[in-house]
C-alpha cells in the first residue's frame, strides 16, 4: 500500500481545494492533521470527494473535510458515499445550513444506515401513494413531517419508522398510519374546529393529543369493518388493549361529536397510552378543506355548464326546460371512496364525464351529499371563475413563479448520482415571425423539394399484393394456370399459388429537437430553419407523425423548451411562421431538454420513436460546470434514459469536433456530421429517409 500523505502535503492540497473558505482564523492545518492519521486509500477518497463537493459549494466541502476523519472511522466506503450523497441531497434541497448539519450528524446517519429493520418514507412512499390513491379514489400527496397528520389534501408521515425489529411490521405501521389519516379525511375529523375546542382547556396541547387519540380509536373501529387485514395488524402491534371507557367510540354510529364529548368527560382523568402509531389533528385542515370545496364548487359549476351545452333543450318541448340539475346518491356503496350517484338534468339522467364524476365524488367525500346550491351551472363567460373567486389550483405550488414548470433530475458524474429535481424547465410557444423567410426558402429550393416529395412518396406505406405465396388470402390465378400447364405436362403442381396483401404500415413518430443556443447565430440558424422547412415538406408526403421543439436556456433554473410543432399540430401557416421565428438564444443544457422531450415522445403511441437532435456543438451552459465532462455525462445519461424508454436517439451535427464526443453520447452509428453548413438543408431530409425506412 502506498505511504499515507503527511500533514504538510495534505495541508497544501487543502489550502488549494478549500482556499475560498479559509481565512487566518480558519486554517487548513487542523484538518490536515486529522486527515494524516488515515491510510492513503481513505485520504484519496476524502480528497476526491472534497474536489467533487467543491463544484457545488466550498463551505460544504470544508464541513465534509472536518467531519470525514471521524466519520470514516465508523462508516465503510459504501456507507460513507451514501452519507455524502445524503448530505448533498439535503444541500440541494434545503440549502447550506441543512447540508452541513447532515455532515456533522454522521453518527445519526450511521445508526440509521446500519438499522436494516427500519422502514423509511423514501423507500415506501411510492407504494404508499398508490395504496392511498386506491383507498381515497383521489390523489393525496404524501410528505414527511415529525408527526402524522393530514390537512385533507396531504398526508404527513414520519420520515422513518423503526419501532419493531421486523421491517414488515414497521411497514405495517406506515400502512396503518396512512389508513387512519385517510379515515380522518373520510369520516369527518377534518371538520373539528381544533383551535376553539382546545383553547378552552388549561393545557391546549394535552387536549389536542387526547382528542386525536379518541379520533384514532373511533376511526380504528370504522376501518376494522372495512379492512379486517389492517385491523388484525393493529391488534397485533398495538401492545395494550384500548381503555374500556372509550368503548363507545367503536359503535358504527359514533361521530366526531362523540369524541369531543368524551374529551369533556375524560379530560382530567385519562392519559393516552403510547401506541406505535400516534396521529395529530391538523389545525389547518378546516381551512384547506374550505378552500378545496370552494375550488371544486367553481369547477363543478363550469363542468355542469359544459354538460348543459352538450344536452341542448329539445326544440319542440311543451314545457320550457329549467336547466336544473339534481343528484341522487346511492346507499349501497360509498365505503370504498367510490360513491355511487345519478346525475339528472331536468329529471333526465345524464352521464357525467369521468372528470365530473371524480369531482362530484370528491365533494361527496367532504360533505356527504351535494347541496343544491352546488348544482348550478355557471353562466356563459365565467366558466373559469364561477362565483368570481380567483382559481386556487396552484396554491400548493412551492413558489408562485414555478407555476407550469417541470423539474428534472440531473446526472452528476462525479457524485455518480442524480441531483434530484435539479433543473427547472418551462415550455413556451415560439413567437411566430414573418413568413417571408419561408417563402424565400420554398422558392430557392423548389426543384429539390419537388424531388424530395417524389422520393418520399415512393416510401409511403401502401398495400402491396405479393404473388406466388404459399399461403394467402386469395388464389393467384396466373400461378395456377402456369401450374396447371406444369401438371398436364407431368410435373408436380407448384405450391406457391396464393396472393397475399402485405401492408407495410408506417408506425413511426419522430421528434426533432433543434439547438437554439447563441452559437447558432447567423448562417447556422438560417440553415437550421431551411432544413426544417424542407423536412416538413417531405414528411407531410410521407405521413409520419412528427413534432419539432427548440431548446435553450441559462443555468439549471431556466431551461427552456420552445414549441414549434407538436405531434397533433397540422403543418400550417402558424407552424411555418414559428419555424421562421427560431432565433438563437442562450446556452445548451441538453440533459433536461432530452428528458423533457423523452416524456413528450413517450406519450405517443408508435412502434418506432425517433428523437433527432439538430445541433452545432457540445452541451454547454453558463457557469455551474455544465461545460465539459459534466455536461457530456449528463447528456449521455439522459440519452440512456431515453433508450430505456424505447426511444431511438439520433444526432445531426455540424460540429467538426463531433467525432471526439458524439460516439460516446449516441454510440458509433447514431449520429452524422454534415461538414458543410450550406448543404444541411439538402441533407437533413435524406438523412431522415435513411433513418426511418
Partner 1 sequence: MVTRPSPPGIRPLPTEARLIRDEPYYEAVGGEIALFEAAHASALPVLLKGPTGCGKTRFIEHMAWRLQRPLITVSCHDDLTAADLVGRYLITGNETVWVDGPLARAVRSGAICYLDEVVEARRDTTVVIHPLADDRRILPMEKRGELLQAPPEFLLAMSFNPGYQSVLKDLKQSTRQRFVAIEFCYPDAALEEKIIRGESAADAATAAALVRLAGMTRNLKGNGLDEGASTRLLVHAAKLIARGIPAAAACHGAIAEALSDDPEMLRAIDEFAASVF
Tell me the closest approach of the beta carbon of residue 126 to partner 1, in angstroms: 5
Instruction: Give me the sign of the Cα torsion angle 177, 182, 187, 193.
Output: positive
Cα separation values, 371 from 257, 327, 358, 360, 597, Å? 22, 9, 17, 11, 44
Least Å distance between CB 348 and partner 1? 16
Site string for partner 1, 604-643 (x = CB under 8 A): -x--------------------------------------
Q: How many CB atoms lie within 10 A of CB 638?
A: 26
Q: Which is nearer to partner 1, 74 or 545 (CB)?
A: 545
Give CA–CA dist 106/79, Å, rounded: 10
Radius of gyration of the chain (CA): 33
In terms of phi and psi (left: phi > 0; alpha: psi -120 to 50; beta: otherwise), the region of 590 is alpha
Among 37, 70, 77, 127, binds partner 1 (CB under 8 A): 127
Query: Does 443 contact partner 1 by CB under 8 A?
Result: no
**DSSP per residue, 203-240:** SHHHHHHHHHHHHHHHHHHHHHHH-HHHHHHHHHHS-S
For partner 1, which is the closer residue by CB, 232 or 659? 232
The answer to the question of residue 440 lying near partner 1 (CB under 8 A) is no
What is the per-residue binding string for partner 1 in 158-197, x denoting contact by CB under 8 A?
-----------------x---x------------------
- In sequence order, which residues have a C-beta less than 8 Å from that of residue 224 and are 6 or more positions away? 230, 231, 234
Distance CA 497, CA 493 (A): 9
Taking CB under 8 A as the criterion, which residues in 457-476 touch partner 1?
Answer: 473-475
Does the protein bind partner 1 through residue 486 (CB under 8 A)?
A: no
Instruction: Pick between residue 54 and residue 361 the one whose CB is nearest to partner 1.
Output: 361
Is 503 among the residues that bind partner 1 (CB under 8 A)? yes
CA distances to 60, 469, 663, 684 from 651, rounded to whole Å, are 38, 40, 10, 11
For residues 571 to 610, the per-residue mask of contacts with partner 1, x marking binding by CB under 8 A and - elsewhere, is ----------------------------------x-----
Q: How far apart are CA 539 and CA 25, in angstroms?
A: 68
Looking at residues 203 to 262 of the shown chain, list those that interact with partner 1 (rule: CB under 8 A). 226-230
The helix/strand/coil state of 690 is helix
Of the listed pieces 31-39, 126-134, 283-291, 510-518, which binds partner 1 according to CB under 8 A? 126-134
Helix (H) or strand (E) holding 614: strand 608-615
Report if residue 337 touches partner 1, rule: CB under 8 A.
yes
User: What dihedral do alpha carbons 38, 41, 42, 46 form, nearest 10°?
Assistant: 120
Which residues fall within 8 angstroms of residue 362, CB to CB, at 6 or more apart? 137, 138, 292, 296
- Please check whether residue 500 is in contact with residue 473, taking contact to mean a CB–CB distance below 8 angstroms: yes
Stretch that binds partner 1, among 266-274, 334-342, 373-381, 551-559 (CB under 8 A): 334-342
Q: According to the binding rule CB under 8 A, does residue 384 interact with partner 1?
A: no
**Range in contact with partner 1 (rule: CB under 8 A) among 109-117, 129-137, 141-149, 214-222:** 129-137
The nearer residue to partner 1, 172 or 680, going by C-beta atoms, is: 172
Which one of the spans 25-33, 258-266, 304-312, 331-339 is the region binding partner 1 (CB under 8 A)?
A: 331-339
Q: Which of residues 645-684 bind partner 1 (CB under 8 A)?
A: none
Residue 340 binds to partner 1 (criterion: CB under 8 A): yes
Measure the CA–CA gap between 259 and 193, rounded to whole angstroms.
13
Number of residues binding to partner 1, judged by CB under 8 A: 38
Q: Which residues contact 656 (CB under 8 A, 6 or more apart)?
A: 673, 675
Closest distance of CB 502 from partner 1, Å: 10
User: For partner 1, which residue of 77, 122, 458, 493 counts as binding (CB under 8 A)?
Assistant: 493
Smallest separation (angstroms) from partner 1 to the CB of 347: 18
Q: Tell me how far, at minimum, the Cβ of 129 lies from partner 1, in Å.
A: 8
Separation between Cα atoms, residue 402 and residue 335, nearest integer Å: 38
Tell me how far, at minimum, the Cβ of 224 lies from partner 1, in Å.
11
Interface residues with partner 1 (CB under 8 A)?
126-128, 130-131, 133-137, 139, 175, 179, 226-230, 330, 332-333, 335-338, 340, 354, 473-475, 480, 484, 487, 493, 497, 501, 503, 605
Amino acid at each position: 500500500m502506498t505511504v499515507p500523505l503527511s500533514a504538510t502535503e495534505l495541508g497544501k492540497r487543502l489550502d488549494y481545494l478549500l482556499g475560498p473558505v479559509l481565512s487566518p482564523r480558519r486554517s487548513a492545518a487542523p484538518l490536515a492533521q486529522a486527515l494524516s492519521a488515515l491510510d492513503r486509500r481513505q485520504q484519496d477518497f476524502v480528497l476526491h470527494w472534497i474536489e467533487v463537493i467543491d463544484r457545488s459549494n466550498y463551505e460544504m466541502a470544508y464541513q465534509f473535510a472536518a467531519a470525514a476523519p471521524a466519520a470514516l472511522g465508523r462508516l465503510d466506503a459504501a456507507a460513507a458515499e451514501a452519507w455524502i450523497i445524503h448530505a448533498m441531497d439535503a444541500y440541494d434541497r434545503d440549502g447550506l445550513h441543512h447540508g452541513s448539519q447532515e455532515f456533522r450528524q454522521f453518527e445519526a446517519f450511521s445508526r440509521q444506515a446500519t438499522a436494516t429493520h427500519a422502514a423509511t418514507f423514501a423507500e415506501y412512499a411510492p407504494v404508499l401513494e398508490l395504496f392511498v390513491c386506491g383507498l381515497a379514489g383521489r390523489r393525496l400527496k404524501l410528505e414527511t413531517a415529525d408527526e402524522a397528520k393530514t390537512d385533507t389534501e396531504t398526508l404527513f408521515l414520519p420520515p422513518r419508522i423503526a419501532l419493531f425489529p421486523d421491517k414488515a411490521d414497521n411497514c405495517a405501521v406506515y400502512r396503518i398510519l396512512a389508513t387512519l389519516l385517510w379515515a380522518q379525511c373520510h369520516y369527518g375529523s377534518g371538520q373539528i374546529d381544533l383551535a376553539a375546542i382546545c383553547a378552552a382547556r388549561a393545557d391546549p396541547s394535552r387536549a389536542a393529543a387526547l382528542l386525536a387519540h379518541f379520533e384514532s380509536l373511533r376511526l380504528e373501529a370504522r376501518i376494522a369493518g372495512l379492512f379486517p387485514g389492517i385491523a388484525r395488524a393493529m391488534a397485533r402491534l398495538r401492545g395494550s388493549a384500548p381503555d374500556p371507557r372509550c368503548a363507545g367510540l367503536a359503535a358504527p354510529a359514533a361521530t366526531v361529536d362523540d369524541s369531543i364529548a368524551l374529551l369533556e368527560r375524560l379530560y382530567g382523568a385519562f392519559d393516552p397510552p403510547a401506541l406505535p402509531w400516534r396521529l395529530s389533528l391538523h389545525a389547518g385542515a378546516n381551512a384547506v378543506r374550505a378552500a378545496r370545496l370552494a375550488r371544486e364548487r367553481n369547477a363543478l359549476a363550469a363542468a355542469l355548464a359544459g354538460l348543459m351545452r352538450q344536452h341542448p333543450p329539445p326544440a319542440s318541448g311543451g314545457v320550457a326546460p329549467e336547466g336544473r340539475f339534481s343528484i341522487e346518491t346511492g346507499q349501497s356503496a360509498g365505503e370504498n371512496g367510490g360513491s355511487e350517484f345519478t346525475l339528472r338534468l331536468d329529471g333526465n339522467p345524464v352521464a357525467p364525464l369521468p372528470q365530473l364524476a371524480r369531482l362530484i365524488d370528491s365533494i361527496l367525500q367532504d360533505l356527504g351529499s351535494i347541496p343544491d346550491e352546488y348544482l348550478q351551472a355557471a353562466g356563459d363567460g365565467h366558466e373559469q371563475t364561477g362565483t368570481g373567486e380567483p382559481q386556487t389550483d396552484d396554491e400548493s405550488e412551492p413558489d408562485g413563479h414555478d407555476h407550469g414548470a417541470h423539474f428534472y433530475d440531473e446526472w452528476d458524474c462525479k457524485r455518480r448520482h442524480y441531483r434530484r429535481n435539479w433543473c427547472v424547465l418551462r415550455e413556451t410557444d415560439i413567437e411566430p415571425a414573418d413568413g417571408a423567410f419561408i417563402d424565400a426558402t420554398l422558392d430557392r429550393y423548389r426543384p429539390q423539394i419537388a424531388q424530395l416529395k417524389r422520393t418520399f412518396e415512393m416510401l409511403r406505406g401502401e398495400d402491396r399484393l405479393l404473388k406466388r405465396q404459399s399461403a394467402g388470402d386469395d388464389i393467384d390465378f396466373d400461378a395456377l394456370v402456369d401450374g396447371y400447364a406444369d401438371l398436364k405436362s407431368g410435373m408436380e403442381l407448384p405450391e406457391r399459388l396464393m396472393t397475399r396483401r402485405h401492408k407495410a404500415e408506417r408506425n413511426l413518430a419522430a421528434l426533432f429537437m433543434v439547438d437554439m443556443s447563441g452559437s447558432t447565430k447567423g448562417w447556422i440558424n438560417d440553415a437550421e430553419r431551411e432544413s426544417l422547412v424542407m423536412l416538413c415538406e417531405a414528411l407531410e408526403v410521407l405521413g409520419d407523425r412528427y413534432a419539432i421543439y427548440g431548446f435553450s436556456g441559462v443555468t439549471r433554473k431556466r431551461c427552456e423548451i420552445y414549441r414549434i410543432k407538436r405531434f397533433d399540430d397540422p403543418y400550417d401557416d402558424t407552424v411555418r411562421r414559428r419555424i421562421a421565428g427560431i432565433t438563437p438564444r442562450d446556452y445548451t443544457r441538453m440533459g433536461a431538454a432530452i428528458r423533457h422531450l423523452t416524456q413528450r415522445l413517450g406519450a405517443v403511441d408508435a412502434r418506432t420513436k425517433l428523437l433527432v437532435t439538430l445541433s452545432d456543438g457540445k452541451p454547454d451552459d453558463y457557469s455551474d460546470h455544465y461545460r465539459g465532462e459534466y455536461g457530456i455525462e449528463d447528456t449521455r445519461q439522459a440519452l440512456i434514459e431515453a433508450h430505456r424508454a424505447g426511444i431511438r436517439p439520433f444526432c445531426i451535427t455540424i460540429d467538426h469536433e463531433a467525432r471526439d464526443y458524439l460516439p460516446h453520447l449516441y454510440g458509433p452509428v447514431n449520429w452524422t456530421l454534415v461538414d458543410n453548413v450550406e448543404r444541411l438543408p439538402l441533407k437533413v431530409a435524406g438523412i431522415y429517409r435513411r433513418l426511418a425506412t
